[in-house]
Structure 1
Amino acid sequence: MTTHALAGALADDGRRRIFAAIVLGATSATQVAERTDLPARVVLTGVRRLADAGLVTDVGGALAADEASLRAAARDSRPADDTDPAADPVLRTFLRGDVLVGLPAQPKRRRVLLTHIAQRSFEPGTRYPERAVDEALKTWCAAGGSDHATLRRYLVDERLLTREHGIYQRA
């Protein structure tokens, strides 16, 4: 089960209610319908979708939460944190793997983070058009911690990237 499948399965209020009823002890579609006040057709469709996502199993005719699948999803979907645990706490705070989860307000912390991003994204001496810079920075912004234009502006303001006629280069 992927995080995406889990989120999709639980994105609907009815399926969340169905899943909650099963977790709280309902073992049949009839019991789920009684506890959730949902029509039987909605319950059956919801149970099928939850089973397809790996959240619910039918063991000997009894519905149950698939605890093994949930544990595996929790274990496997942890964000990769490829920063060294002994590395700067700023990176551990504001990055999850190579995804930015926020920008520090303090200039010194922001400089540490921006230096890391510049070093990981751009080769020294290589000239990059603005479109290539934007594409490189968009991957850092996938979690919504910032937007690529703000990140690009900060990199130029901190003189980690130089800009001349729409061409960028790592300083």
Structure 2
Amino acid sequence: MRPETAIGLLADSARLRVFSAVVLGAATPPEAARAAGTSPREAATALRRLRAGGLLEEADGRLRVPEGAFEASAREASAREASAREPQPGSPAEEFRTGDPRRDALLHHYVRDGRLTSLPGPLQRRREVLRHLALNSFEPGRRYPEPEVNEVLRDWAGRARTDHVALRRYLIELNLLDRQDSVYWLRDDIWADFHV
């Protein structure tokens, strides 16, 4: 049974009271009507709907809740919820997949189509965005001459309100890249986990 079906059946106050009466031990329609405080006709209508919906059954002349009625609904709801949490194509989580929803949201805000849209003001957020840029632009252990670094950073800075020279300076200042004699490389500790 779909969770929406169970919720819909129990959304009516008379059906909810009759269902509760059966759960609490009412075994016949007259007992359910009395315990629920409804008329026999109202109880009969509620019981018919609850049986048709699969929330109640009658066995050996006694009303009862089918075993596992809610477990199946809970499993289905849980499976749908897990499926909804899976990244959808084109979603921020699909694009970045860092495993951290806050980090994915931050990157989605400042990075579009592999380009910076702007840089965050707060230092830790700026560092996280630039860390993403560095990890997606430079290979560990490889040395890059300054003209090559400039070319990569020009591509990133295309839509941002900053230029490649500022990006290069930030990458050095934030200890994401190292530099010596106009040669740049990723720092070994760039893999450390930063927090937004």
TM-score normalised by length of structure 1: 0.51
Match for residue 66 of structure 1?
A: 66
CA 1:74/1:87 → structure 2, altered by over 3 Å: closer, same or farther?
A: farther
The number of residue pairs the alignment matches comes to 103
Identity of aligned residues (%): 32
Shift of 1:116: 6.0
Choose the corresponding residue for 2:99, options 73, 88, 95.
88
Unmatched runs of 5 consecutive residues or more in structure 1: 91-108, 126-161, 163-171
Dislocated runs of 4+, deviation >4 Å: 114-117
Choose the corresponding residue for 1:112, options 104, 113, 122.
104
Q: 1:86-165 alignment to 2 at 5 Å?
A: 88-90=99-101, 109=102, 112-113=104-105, 115=107, 124=113
Unmatched runs of 5 consecutive residues or more in structure 2: 88-96, 115-158, 160-196
Deviations 1:68-114 (A, max 9, x none): 22211111221124549x96343xxxxxxxxxxxxxxxxxx3x6237
CA 1:83/1:28 → structure 2, altered by over 3 Å: closer, same or farther?
A: same
CA 1:45/1:83 → structure 2, altered by over 3 Å: closer, same or farther?
A: same
* Distance (whole Å) between structure 2 residues aligned to residue 59 and residue 48 of structure 1: 14
Deviations 1:29-70 (A, max 9, x none): 100111111001110110111112111111111100113222
* Distance (whole Å) between structure 1 residues aligned to residue 74 and residue 37 of structure 2: 30
8 Å Cα contact 2:56/2:65 also seen in 1 = yes
What is the SS of the residue equivalent to 1:67?
coil
Is residue 76 from structure 1 mapped to residue 87 from structure 2 by the alignment? no
Is residue 36 from structure 1 mapped to residue 36 from structure 2 by the alignment? yes
* Distance (whole Å) between structure 2 residues aligned to residue 66 and residue 21 of structure 1: 15
Match for residue 14 of structure 2?
A: 14
* Distance (whole Å) between structure 2 residues aligned to residue 10 and residue 3 of structure 1: 11
Give the aligned residue type for 2:29: A
Match for residue 138 of structure 1?
A: none
Give the aligned residue type for 1:23: V
Match for residue 162 of structure 2?
A: none
What is the SS of the residue equivalent to 2:48?
helix
Match for residue 48 of structure 1?
A: 48
* Distance (whole Å) between structure 1 residues aligned to residue 108 and residue 43 of structure 2: 49
Deviations 1:110-161 (A, max 9, x none): x6237569x9xx9x59xxxxxxxxxxxxxxxxxxxxxxxxxxxxxxxxxxxx
What is the SS of the residue equivalent to 1:80?
helix
Aligned Cα root-mean-square deviation (Å): 3.2
CA 1:64/1:83 → structure 2, altered by over 3 Å: closer, same or farther?
A: same
Give the aligned residue type for 1:67: E
